[in-house]
Amino acid sequence: MSMSSSPKKVVLAYSGGLDTSVILRWLQDAHDAEVVTFTADLGQGEDIEPARAKAESLGIKQIFIEDLREEFTRDYVFPMFRANALYEGEYLLGTSIARPLIAKRQIEIAREVGADAVSHGATGKGNDQVRFELGYYALEPGIKVIAPWREWDLTSRTKLIEYAESRQIPIPLDKRGEAPFSVDANLLHISAEGKVLEDPWVEPGEYIFSRTVSPMDAPDTPTEITMDFHHGDPVAINGQAMSPATLLTELNRLGGDNGIGRADLVENRFVGMKSRGVYETPGGTILLKARRAMESITLDRGAAHAKDSMMPRYAELIYNGFWFDPEREMMQKAIDATQENVTGTVRMKLYKGNVMITGRQSPHSLYHPDLVTFEDGAADYDQTDAHGFIRLNALRLRVRRMLQGD
């Protein structure tokens, strides 16, 4: 594919909503380009098939609608969770991890249909424009990228509505006013930001949340579950084997019913500003806690600590959009190498927003009861050996103090 000033065919990431419908028409008007739409089901919780009829009504001939829930969970969410990734100590990266898959499929479709450009609906203020476009260029260096929010003059909701009306684009009644906040959703999470959430001092109203009950209103009786792992990935809940997407869906249900997974964060965007977001990640919150419990008895201390030391950088790479970066791929191989024996079962209780680990077992457990017991006769450990160990580790501290004096 070669870069050109005027694209002939564009693959658009299309939700079927008002904004991307306006983008679709604008691409036809402003660039005189043939548009191919791509709509993905990533578990956002709504029927995506209506996007086909909307695209057809706007004159689109080539329409791709795909269920990517299994691929998303298996090839993106689970590998990321093997790293126990948290951005800035709290964010489970629900939006960030979805963008590489969408970018990949857009490029694949562009190759399939002979398109010379791709387009997305991310604004010029957010991280998503970076995530999409880094993915595009990593996979197809010569592709032309069209970012409407950086090009057009439809800079207000009023102008957007007026443009839609002038082009006979249907406008849902709930879209005519200013939306109270912006939403992004997939199988891992749902996020809300902007408008009523822009003041970080103002508490988010209960109407913001859709996947979780309030922890205060959650059941008064704990829900006890088990989760089975194989090579670091969850494979069963309560002994029932499930596919990756089915398992995450069930975890979302269990977590949501018990008020688990809410987070109200002010994060540092890659593009430079701070942003307040309210997130619900019920299944991911449970999975992270269970994974760390499983690793606690199956990972060597050195491997576990090395992995933990890599995690902040790994999370930052994903947050900033560098999924296809060689550094992320290198770290992924190192992380995956630690997971061979992360197999077994974790038991936990879910209660009013909390995930409480109550047990863990593994055929590869490194936990040795004879070594930690307070009883006499423990195998292979002589307590007097600790004296020399401590003296050796204290040597540099003692030398420093002796040479420096008081």
**Which positions are annotated as active-site residues?**
19, 99, 128, 182
What is the C-alpha to C-alpha distance for residues 111 and 132, in angstroms, rounded to an integer? 17
Residue with tokens 């979780």: 212
Measured CA to CA, the distance from residue 226 to residue 238 in angstroms comes to 5
Tell which residue, 215, 177, 179, 173, has the closest CA to residue 197: 179
Q: What is the full DSSP assignment across 268-324?
A: E-TTS-EEEEEEE-HHHHHHHHHHHHHHHHHS-HHHHHHHHHHHHHHHHHHHHT-TT
Query: Measured between alpha carbons, how far is 6 from 30 in angstroms, rounded to an integer?
Result: 10
Cα dist. 167→22, 25, 158, 388 in Å?
A: 9, 8, 14, 82
- Count of helix runs (H) and strand runs (E) in the chain: 14, 14
Question: How does DSSP classify residue 87?
Answer: B
Copy the structure tokens of residue 314. 């790994």
Ramachandran region of residue 126, left (φ > 0), alpha (ψ -120 to 50) or beta? beta
Largest separation between any pair of C-alpha atoms in the chain: 86
Report how far residue 238's alpha carbon sits from residue 232's, in angstroms, rounded to the nearest whole number. 17
Three-state SS string over 1-17 comes to: CCCCCCCCEEEEECCCC
> Alpha helices, DSSP H only, in 258-300?
282-298
- Residue pair 183/190 in contact by the 8 Å Cβ criterion: yes
CA-based Rg of the chain, rounded to a whole angstrom? 25
Tokens of 279: 């997130």
> In angstroms, what CA-CA distances link 284 with 77, 186, 260, 275, 278?
9, 12, 10, 22, 15
Residue of 303, 284, 298, 305 lying closest to 230 (CA atoms): 298
DSSP 188: S
Give backbone dihedrals phi and psi of 230, rounded to 5 degrees, phi first.
-140, 115
**Calpha distance 190→175 (Å, rounded):** 20
Give the helix ranges, DSSP H, for 117-207.
128-139, 148-151, 157-166
